[in-house]
Amino acid sequence: MRRTHYCGNVNTSNVNEQVVLEGWVNRRRDLGGLIFIDLRDREGLVQVVVQPESPAYAEADRVRSEWVVRVTGTVRARPAEQVNARIASGEVEVVAEGLEVLAEAKTPPFPVDAAWRGEEDQAVSEDIRMRYRVVDLRRRALQRNLRLRHKVVAAIYRFLDQEGFISVETPFLTRSTPEGARDFLVPSRLQPGQFYALPQSPQLFKQMLMVAGYDRYFQIARCFRDEDLRADRQPDFTQLDLEMSFVDQEDVLELNERLAAYVFEEALGVELPIPFPRMTYAEAMNRYGSDKPDLRFGLEMRDVTERFRGGEFRAFAGAEVVKALVAPAALSRREIEELEAIAKGKGAAGLAWSRYEGGAFSGGIAKFIPEGLARELGVQEGQTALFVAGPWRKSVESLGAVRLELGKRLGLAEEGFKFLWVVDFPLLEWDEENGRWTYMHHPFTSPNLEDLELLERDPGKVRARAYDMVMNGTEVGGGSIRIHRRDLQERMFALLGIGPEEAQEKFGFLLEALSFGAPPHGGIAWGLDRWVANMAGEDSIREVIAFPKNKEGRDPLTEAPSPVAEAQLAELGIALRKSDG
């Protein structure tokens, strides 16, 4: 007989029905003759009762955890005192009439049964979990996360289809172009000595689709970047990629707000208020020390540069900027030292402080604090004022990192989801190491048309027509209005130190496409892994990816990357150089 129900879906409406269930043995208990099996599948578990006289008893007596079985039986209601409110099927049980072992299983390296019973899973190291990912994926949390991911993707397809978007796939094997990170290279057997690159994003292809007249494109795209890993980075990752023609920035933002609201409603049943608030890059950096501020708590930074200008405290008197932050707690010296280490890690020279006690500042730099500053900062009794001074960027970023750490330590973040658009980014930033201007987003981002006259004269003041979507302090999406005129794209390349010959060599196909008449266009990419991780309440995107890489970029399950045979290398015309060590 074939399966009639999922285990977790059996309920009181099925009482007296005969059912066929298939799944894994979550737990087996022998209570003096009666055998109880918690049978599990993707929808949950149900209790199976095997009586001594049942034809299923002999097989039930030998099954163990994680064996795969088929059970035939009749559903009955549990006595009131035996109802298990922690599981969906807790009001019923299945009296087994037959049990077939479909596959035996060796003892798993760690238990996966607790959360399915409504209890807490045992803590297991991530390395072990990833080595035995096929077992790890049976845990309830990962099953829930991947189901959520599916719901998000399905909602995206429904919404964008209704909005007239067309899904188009772009190549995995393409040309290496400078887009901000290292490429993964793929050697060509048919053209020895030449290489494809795996795409960092479909950026250039989606722009060419706009030139080709496809007007509204999207793709759930796989992307590849050879960069150092963090909790929210993987060498291969997934993004929602979309592009629109004949639009301005407001059109893109408005559509993505509606898309986000639709996704949250469909996947989580959560209503998002739209429109999202907007904040310029300069305002975000000055108030929160980050271009992706977490708005679930306050702790805004204040500029107190002029209050210390020319004063007795020499470290502050001539500083480019002095920033202040009020911590809503009387921090100990040890806590301040720990926060100072965080500030120094972001480039600050130090972290100055003073507590507000008995109606006055005391400790730290108390004697140098100007009269009336406590009132201006709104410092309350028992709070601690923290200060950073120095170059603007290092000062705001270092105190911003301290702000985030305080929010975490003091549990200040509100429940729920806070969205924000950050706009008006600088188009360019100065690369100290190479002594030249470089792009902040990518070289195809359009400058603000009001700033075009500054492009060569004062590049640092040119604003980009770029925007980032921020959720709970994480950048979950970013995009821009693109350059659609060849002459402006060539000006941009020149500003970046890319001469005509190099531009033609690396981007000739794009420049030629633009010369055939390109519509104004723009778009965005959502970091799908980050989206789902935030929605699921996970700190790492590895918790929402079926088969992720670890912190070293390795796959412990398949042991990739791995050596390949000399014959394979020879066929590609590749020889490995021995390390000097």
**What's the rounded mean pLDDT across residues 1-7?**
93
Per-residue pLDDT at 434? 79
pLDDT for residue 103 is more than 90 = yes
Grade residue 102 by pLDDT with cuts at 50, 70 and 90.
very high
Q: What average pLDDT does the structure give for the chain?
A: 94
In terms of phi and psi (left: phi > 0; alpha: psi -120 to 50; beta: otherwise), the region of 155 is alpha
How far CA 304 is from CA of 320, 362, 386, in Å, comes to 11, 19, 11
**What's the rounded mean pLDDT across residues 128-139?**
96
Assess contact for 145 and 534: CB atoms under 8 A: no
What six digits make up the tokens of 510? 């794009």
pLDDT for residue 581 is more than 60 = no
Q: Which of 207-216, 231-240, 341-350 has the lowest mean pLDDT?
A: 231-240
**What's the rounded mean pLDDT across residues 161-183?**
90
Interior/surface letters 157-183, b for 16+ CB within 10 angstroms, e for the rest? eebbeeeebeebebeeebebbbbebbb
CA 165 to chain centre: 24
The predicted-structure confidence for 23-34, as pLDDT tens digits, reads as follows: 999 999 998 889
Rounded to whole angstroms, the Cα distance separating 15 from 17 reads: 5
Per-residue pLDDT at 258? 98
pTM confidence score: 0.92
What is the sign, positive or negative, of the torsion defined by CA atoms of 399, 445, 218, 549?
A: negative
The predicted-structure confidence for 423-467, as pLDDT tens digits, reads as follows: 999 999 888 887 888 888 889 999 999 999 999 999 999 999 999
pLDDT for residue 107 is more than 80 = yes
Per-residue pLDDT at 579? 72
The predicted-structure confidence for 373-390, as pLDDT tens digits, reads as follows: 999 999 999 999 999 999
What six digits make up the tokens of 83? 């109802």
10 Å CB burial of residue 554 (0-12, 13-18, 19+) is middle
Share of the chain above pLDDT 70, in %: 99
The predicted-structure confidence for 314-337, as pLDDT tens digits, reads as follows: 999 999 999 999 999 999 999 999
DSSP 13: G
E strands, 378-497, in order: 384-390, 419-423, 428-431, 436-439, 466-471, 474-481
pLDDT for residue 264 is more than 70 = yes
Rounded to whole angstroms, the Cα distance separating 172 from 195 reads: 13
Per-residue pLDDT at 435? 82
**What's the rounded mean pLDDT across residues 237-262?**
98
Grade residue 231 by pLDDT with cuts at 50, 70 and 90.
confident
How far CA 575 is from CA of 4, 286, 568, in Å, comes to 57, 52, 10
Rounded to whole angstroms, the Cα distance separating 472 from 538 reads: 12
10 Å CB burial of residue 34 (0-12, 13-18, 19+) is middle
Q: Which of 104-108, 393-397, 462-466, 500-504 has the lowest mean pLDDT?
A: 500-504
**Higher pLDDT residue, 122 or 94?**
94
DSSP 564: -
CA 248 to chain centre: 27
- Closest residue by Cα to residue 28 from 82, 56, 66, 70: 66
Per-residue pLDDT at 531? 97
Residues 6 or more apart whose Cβ sits within 8 Å of residue 154: 266
